[in-house]
Structure 1
Amino acid sequence: MDPARIPVIVGVGDVRSGRAGEPAGPREPLDLITDAARAAIVDSGSPALGCRIDAIHAVKTVSWSYDDLPGLLAARLTLPSPRSSTSPIGGHWPAALLDRIGDDIAAGRSSAALLVGGEAQATMTALRKSGTDPASLGWESAPGGPPAFDPADLGSPAMQRAGLIVPTRVYPLFENRVAHESGLGPGESLTESARMYSAFSELAAKNPVSWTSEVYSAKDIATVGPGNRMVCEPYPLMLNAMPFVDQAAAVLVCSLAVARDHGVPEDRTVYLWGGAGATDPVDILSRNGFGTSAAMTDAVQQALSRAAVDASALDIVDAYSCFPVVPKLLTRTLGLRGDVVPSVTGGHSFFGGPLNSYTLHSIAEVTRRLREDGGTALVHGNGGYLTYQHVVLLASTPHPVGYVGDPEPAQLTAQAPELVAGYEGRAGIVTSTVEYGRDGAPATGFVVAHTPDGRRLAGHTGAEEAAALSAFAHTPARSPIGRSVHVTDRDGVLSLRF
């Protein structure tokens, strides 16, 4: 194998500013990203290696807009005109971009690249509440400025009609269907989630750049009450991502030849074997079902197959964990034991969920663990509504044939049932959830159902119907999934009668 065509991670850095309950002075995302990038270069053990960087790839920052974040970072690092790119929105991009960098090095298009990302959403929230314009504090605004909003990010017209427009509403639909297909009742599924997230909180408490430092028991996480209100069944607040954080991370990747030229010790070198990605239909209502992720299954199988590795041989698995259903699906896809903790950081709820760049922190921590203990790791990224999936394999030793990844995702199709609007009649509930208001009362129900002739319908309810849907699920404890109801659909607003 040609060392000039073997991609390796040689430096990682991640930082936070402030912490939950301990706010720090306002710092813009670019400042945090610059600190992380400099830390990654220092971590390589060869500051001169930074001068070899010929590409900077940025995961899109959401809390503050930059027209050319890589260019601003290059100026701060005094790098002469590296190639650059900035990703679209999506939590899969850290893994996908790392795979792209590996492909570039393997093809000889690059010899050293920097992958960066970061957010200052905690600071932005505080500044917004105080009426302070970040630009008045000297934040970069030419180019750049306040974050922009694209209505298309809400979802398809059919999803918007049904009210399925934010992650907190959509992911519970997957969770409840997965539990149903796994033969778990609502209580058993919640217990599984709470146990996993309790273990996540223990990991986060040990991580110096995590947003929280408190360890929570499974009972703490599963119990609804002050500070842990129900958001959308079955997820109380502690089972939701925490995006209001100030965190950034950076990863320095180069060829093995460059690493050796700069004296990077072999035990500080982590090999990027490569990965794979897949994309499901963007509209969740046009997918085959809600109990699996075809894209996740495809990405995992392709990555392991190309590397000729069995899931049982993985020493480390880190799952994207915006909501419990995502790591649950990954562990099921990999066939892992139920007691495996699929995280190295502590997940979005406790380590922190810096929007698109969370998985960069996972890559940094996995790199540290592989340096210390050796082995093989799989790092997973998830974007959209379980839409975009990408995994990468990292190891303390080289793969026998070098880089074996493919940064281009497979575009999957589906043969979903026909979506019907304005339906009235009997229907079977495929999946559902109930959203609660801040007063602790059911506010809106969301239902996906199928008609007797196999068509699909979706919509949302008013507060009275939401309360009835919730009451059905709790008195006695049972899942409404699979139950037959009478449905009346009036422009996406559903009336239900069990």
Structure 2
Amino acid sequence: MTSQDDRTPVLIGVGQAAERPTDADYRALSPADLAGEAARAALADAQASGDLAGALDVIVAIRQFEISSPGAKPPFGASNNFPRSVARRIGADPARAILEITGGQGPQRLVGEFCEAIVRGEAEAVLLVGSEAMSTVLTLNAKGETPDWSETVEGAVEDRGYGLEGMFTPSILKHRITGAIPAYALFENARRARLGLDRPTYARKMGELFAPFTRVAAANPYSASPVEKTAEELVTVSDKNRIVADPFTRMLVARDQVNQAAAVILTSVGKARALGVPEDRFVYLHGQGDANELTIMERPDLSASPSAIAAGRKALELAGKTVDDMAVFDFYSCFPIAVFNMIDGLGIAADDPRGLTLTGGLPYFGGAGNNYSMHAIAEVVPALRQRPGAFGFIGANGGMLSKYSAGVYSTTPADWSRPEARRAKIPYDPVPGLEVDTATGEATVETYTTTTTRSGPAIVVIARLPDGRRAAANQASEAAFAELAAREPIGRRVRLETDAEGFNRFTFID
């Protein structure tokens, strides 16, 4: 098999769709309708002379946030078979319909999976698609409107489940780390402490990292928030830019109130040629690394995710390229730490002139749920078509900095005669026994954040016990908040006590 053997997998079409409630032609589309629009755009982008929609034998859908956990309930209903709902909108009837697990790594991971499936003859033409309409849900709810988005579509669907294992532990959840924002805030503060930076200096660095993202988002027609911001605007606390979890202001976190969809079409080279797809549409995956990280309480260093970095390095290695060979990048940017982690590990400067995003990033372009990186792939394909022979890097993050898929792309043909030489999974070994559910005695603060729930504001710490194990603890007292404001908490000694309800409470003692 040569690099242009008929079985070689190739990306031939990409498409995006988006709408904002402020648009003059706003239609309040459902997730399935948005996904259908993106899929039609991808079909058109391929410029096939044959029936590409009819040739699709696999459609894989990314889960919307509203169906990403067991207790989630879509407010306006949902399709019982989302991939086939999309198929119905584009005139496709695939042999396989798949609903992917939760996580932002999904789009990039699926590209590698189905490139390999195409090589092995298990698929010929594959549509990857996802969408979110969370902004429309909020808009219609505010108006008191309740459309019915439920659909019943016949046909088999392979539901891969939620894939939520390892993201949280019972102790973490119990002590108010119940979502992505406080979890990533723990990592961000740990990185700041590792670098020895004070809070104002680190805030400035977060703003400087993301200000260029806003410029890209401002020029992207699919952006949810196409407004350029300065670094100072991003980190200055105000009524419109409150602290959502120390150290994050609202403008530094992923924007989930979006109406966005994206789609990617993969085929074999032989199928693409048979369908009359021009070869100037072809973009190849040259290398992919996939990785899972240890749970929050198992990680040796809470300031980084070495598995994610290893995934990025593996993608470059399999492509036979280095960071210096990349013309464009898109790093998953749900929070600054997700970008910092990768550029730290790959040796890329925050102000690299090539830029770190193609879309504008999750806080500004939009955090389209688990599907964001489908938009990144939909941006890298035309960017590389405009620069034949150049290479681009996509980094896709999922979970609590706990799942990562990285891909290297180019219009230069890739040799897939040995799929294992193009795609690899990074192994990891769990480290059991590091987490203590209840703890009493002295410990040292390793990282912290603040949270606000229905119970009110609280400080959450991860503390190291003298024997090296970790415990989560929280405290809501005015005295603790005063101490937090007055002094750096990381590295301080605390006394842990377990109350009658089984919660660990901490008190600063130095």
TM-score higher than 0.5? yes
Q: 1:428 aligns with which of 436, 444, 459?
A: 444
Report what 1:485 is aligned to.
Answer: 494
Q: 1:324 aligns with which of 336, 341, 360?
A: 336
Matched, 1:107 2:120: yes
Once the two structures are superposed, the pairs formed by residues 236-247 of structure 1 within 5 Å of their partners are 236-247=249-260
Matched, 1:208 2:221: yes
Report what 2:69 is aligned to.
Answer: none
Report what 1:51 is aligned to.
Answer: 54
2: CA distance, partners of 1:20 / 1:386 = 33
2: CA distance, partners of 1:339 / 1:416 = 39
Q: 1:150 to 1:333 in 2, by over 3 A?
A: closer
Q: 1:381 to 1:22 in 2, by over 3 A?
A: farther
Report what 1:286 is aligned to.
Answer: 298
Once the two structures are superposed, the pairs formed by residues 54-133 of structure 1 within 5 Å of their partners are 54-63=57-66, 64=74, 65-133=78-146
Q: Residues 125-180 of structure 1, C-alpha deviation per residue, up to 9 Å, x if partnerless?
A: 22334443331xxx233369xxx999989832122122211111100100111122
SS of structure 2 residue aligned to 1:347: coil
Q: Is the deviation greater in 85-94 or in 260-269?
A: 260-269
Q: Answer whether contact 1:91 1:355 (CA < 8 A) is retained.
A: yes
Q: Residues 301-337 of structure 1, C-alpha deviation per residue, up to 9 Å, x if partnerless?
A: 3222222222222222211111110011111121112
2: CA distance, partners of 1:422 / 1:79 = 54
Q: 1:24 to 1:161 in 2, by over 3 A?
A: same
Report what 2:465 is aligned to.
Answer: 451
Q: Answer whether contact 1:4 1:108 (CA < 8 A) is retained.
A: no
Identity, in percent, stands at 30
Q: 2:321 aligns with which of 289, 292, 309?
A: 309
Q: Answer whether contact 1:293 1:329 (CA < 8 A) is retained.
A: yes
Q: Answer whether contact 1:40 1:252 (CA < 8 A) is retained.
A: yes
- AA aligned to 1:32 is L
Q: TM-score, normalised by structure 1?
A: 0.90
Q: 1:234 to 1:53 in 2, by over 3 A?
A: same
Matched, 1:381 2:393: no
Report what 1:196 is aligned to.
Answer: 209
Q: Residues 21-54 of structure 1, C-alpha deviation per residue, up to 9 Å, x if partnerless?
A: 8893321000000010001000111252333211
Q: Answer whether contact 2:459 2:474 (CA < 8 A) is retained.
A: yes
SS of structure 1 residue aligned to 2:197: coil
- AA aligned to 1:39 is A
SS of structure 1 residue aligned to 2:65: coil
SS of structure 2 residue aligned to 1:31: helix
Q: Answer whether contact 1:12 1:364 (CA < 8 A) is retained.
A: yes
Matched, 1:42 2:44: yes
Q: 1:398 aligns with which of 390, 405, 413?
A: 413
1: CA distance, partners of 2:505 / 2:96 = 51
Matched, 1:184 2:223: no
Q: Is the deviation greater in 264-273 or in 353-362?
A: 264-273
Q: Is the deviation greater in 402-411 or in 248-257?
A: 402-411
Question: Quick check: which one's helix share is greater?
Answer: 1
Report what 2:158 is aligned to.
Answer: none
2: CA distance, partners of 1:395 / 1:315 = 10
Residue 255 (structure 1) shift? 1.5
Q: 1:305 to 1:167 in 2, by over 3 A?
A: same
Q: Is the deviation greater in 320-329 or in 456-465?
A: 456-465
Q: Residues 245-275 of structure 1, C-alpha deviation per residue, up to 9 Å, x if partnerless?
A: 1000011111122223334333322112241
Matched, 1:362 2:376: yes
Q: Residues 339-367 of structure 1, C-alpha deviation per residue, up to 9 Å, x if partnerless?
A: 12321111111001111000000000011
SS of structure 2 residue aligned to 1:431: strand
Query: Which residues of structure 1 form unaligned runs of 5+?
Result: 474-478
Q: 1:131 to 1:493 in 2, by over 3 A?
A: farther
Q: Answer whether contact 2:495 2:507 (CA < 8 A) is retained.
A: yes
- AA aligned to 1:307 is A
SS of structure 1 residue aligned to 2:435: coil
Q: 1:173 to 1:189 in 2, by over 3 A?
A: same
2: CA distance, partners of 1:143 / 1:333 = 45
Report what 1:9 is aligned to.
Answer: 11
Report what 2:435 is aligned to.
Answer: 419
1: CA distance, partners of 2:162 / 2:430 = 29
- AA aligned to 1:54 is D
Give the total of aligned pairs: 484
2: CA distance, partners of 1:32 / 1:468 = 48
- AA aligned to 1:239 is L
SS of structure 1 residue aligned to 2:285: strand
- AA aligned to 2:193 is H
Report what 2:365 is aligned to.
Answer: 351
2: CA distance, partners of 1:17 / 1:270 = 27
Report what 1:299 is aligned to.
Answer: 311
Report what 1:476 is aligned to.
Answer: none
Q: 1:461 aligns with which of 471, 475, 490?
A: 475
Q: Answer whether contact 2:84 2:153 (CA < 8 A) is retained.
A: no
Report what 1:26 is aligned to.
Answer: 28
2: CA distance, partners of 1:376 / 1:193 = 27
Q: 1:20 to 1:331 in 2, by over 3 A?
A: farther
Q: Answer whether contact 2:297 2:434 (CA < 8 A) is retained.
A: no
Residue 436 (structure 1) shift? 5.3
Q: Answer whether contact 2:462 2:473 (CA < 8 A) is retained.
A: yes
2: CA distance, partners of 1:258 / 1:247 = 29
Q: Answer whether contact 1:428 1:482 (CA < 8 A) is retained.
A: yes
1: CA distance, partners of 2:113 / 2:162 = 27
Residue 382 (structure 1) shift? 1.0
Q: TM-score, normalised by structure 2?
A: 0.88
Residue 112 (structure 1) shift? 1.4
Q: 1:152 to 1:189 in 2, by over 3 A?
A: same
